[in-house]
């Protein structure tokens, strides 16, 4: 019997959402987007939930991004009824409750974008963050391109975008991309401890503070909408290019891509 793609667990007034595809490095398919998106929406509307923690199953990877095999099969990677929630049902799905990413391993591509979409981030020492999409002729289309330069010094963020190279958890902490680095195997407990420090406070005050901090109205962050529109437009143009076909093909064939800039 196959395991569900997403597990949810209530820990007091905190909901823990686990992407449960360790055999696929917790990469995101439609089932993950549906499970995460629905769990997030339920948390938003449950007055007993004061915070959300998102993590990955196993000890290798928090999330390795999109499921390339599902893409090759032309499967829908988004929630079937709420495509507006974006990648993993999470990156464009604002809720008033604080969200904490417990990064239990590598967080590359979409994994880093999940962290960027979270309010707080706790990472294990072995964690790594990166946006390697340029290595395969694509861009970080789930908010990564504009959020990385908002959350890091611009030149640090641009170096990550242009080189596609990852940074360590220690460097992510140094640059303020994450809140804590903890010993391997302890990240969920550390994230729950951080959640406890948050949820001891007045919930309505926290929710109002979050809305104001993000400039959010009715679940939308207006300042980010041009970034989303620009990303969608640029991605659509890129996908028509020869390089966007060459990148994934070279990756699949385990060879260096031959770029043509067209």
Confidence of residue 254 (pLDDT cuts 50, 70, 90): confident
> Nearest-5° angle of CA 46, CA 98, CA 145?
125
Catalytic residue among 75, 133, 234, 242: 133
Show Cβ contacts of residue 44 under 8 Å, excluding neighbours closer than 6 positions. 95, 96, 97
The question of whether 234 is a catalytic residue gets the answer no
Give CA–CA dist 102/94, Å, rounded: 18
Residues 13-43 have pLDDT tens digits of 999 999 999 999 999 999 999 999 999 999 9
31 membership: H or E segment, kind and range: helix 30-45
Q: Please, what is the average pLDDT of the chain? A: 95
Tens of pLDDT, residue by residue over 125-150, are: 999 999 999 998 999 999 999 999 99
226 vs 78, 160, 231, 259, CA distance in Å? 21, 22, 8, 29
- Whether 75 is catalytic: no
* Residue 251 clears pLDDT 90, i.e. is over it: no
The span from the CA of 174 to the CA of 177, in Å, is 8
Q: How far apart are CA 83 and CA 125, in angstroms?
A: 34
| Structural domains in the chain, sorted by start | 1-184+199-262 (3.90.226.10)
Asked if residues 124 and 169 have their Cβ atoms less than 8 Å apart, the reply is: yes
Query: Rounded to the nearest 5°, which phi and psi values hold at 52?
Result: -125, 135
Q: Which of 9, 41, 84, 113 is catalytic?
A: 113
pLDDT in tens, 216-233: 999 999 999 999 999 999
How does residue 1 score in pLDDT terms, banded at 50, 70 and 90? low
Average pLDDT (178-207) is 98
Q: Which tokens belong to 141?
A: 């289309």
**Cα four-point dihedral sign 193, 53, 69, 66:** negative
Q: Residue 80 — pLDDT band, cuts 50, 70, 90? A: very high
d(Cα 18, Cα 84) in Å, to the nearest integer? 21
């Amino acid at each position: 019997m196959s395991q569900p793609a997403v597990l949810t667990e209530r820990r007091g007034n905190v909901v823990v959402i686990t992407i449960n595809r360790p055999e696929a490095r917790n990469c995101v398919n439609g089932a993950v987007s549906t499970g995460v998106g629905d769990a997030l929406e339920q948390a938003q509307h449950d007055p007993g939930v004061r915070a959300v923690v998102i993590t990955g199953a196993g000890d290798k990877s928090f999330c390795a991004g999109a499921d390339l095999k599902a893409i090759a099969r032309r499967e829908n990677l988004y929630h079937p009824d709420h495509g507006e929630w974006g990648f993993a049902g999470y990156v464009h799905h604002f809720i008033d409750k604080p969200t904490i990413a417990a990064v239990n391993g590598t967080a590359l591509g979409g994994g880093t974008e999940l962290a960027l979409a979270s309010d707080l981030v706790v990472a294990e020492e072995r964690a790594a963050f990166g946006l390697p999409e340029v290595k395969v002729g694509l861009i970080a289309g789930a908010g990564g391109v504009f959020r990385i330069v908002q959350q890091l010094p611009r030149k640090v963020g641009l170096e990550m975008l242009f080189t596609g190279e990852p940074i360590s958890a220690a460097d992510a902490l140094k640059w303020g991309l994450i809140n804590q680095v903890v010993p391997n195997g302890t990240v969920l407990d550390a994230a729950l401890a951080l959640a406890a420090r948050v949820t001891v406070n007045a919930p309505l005050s926290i929710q109002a503070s979050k809305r104001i901090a993000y400039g959010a109205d009715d679940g939308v962050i207006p300042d980010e909408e041009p970034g989303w529109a620009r990303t969608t437009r640029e991605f659509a143009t890129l996908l028509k290019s020869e390089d966007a076909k060459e990148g994934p093909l070279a990756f699949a064939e385990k060879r260096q891509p031959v770029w043509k800039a067209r």
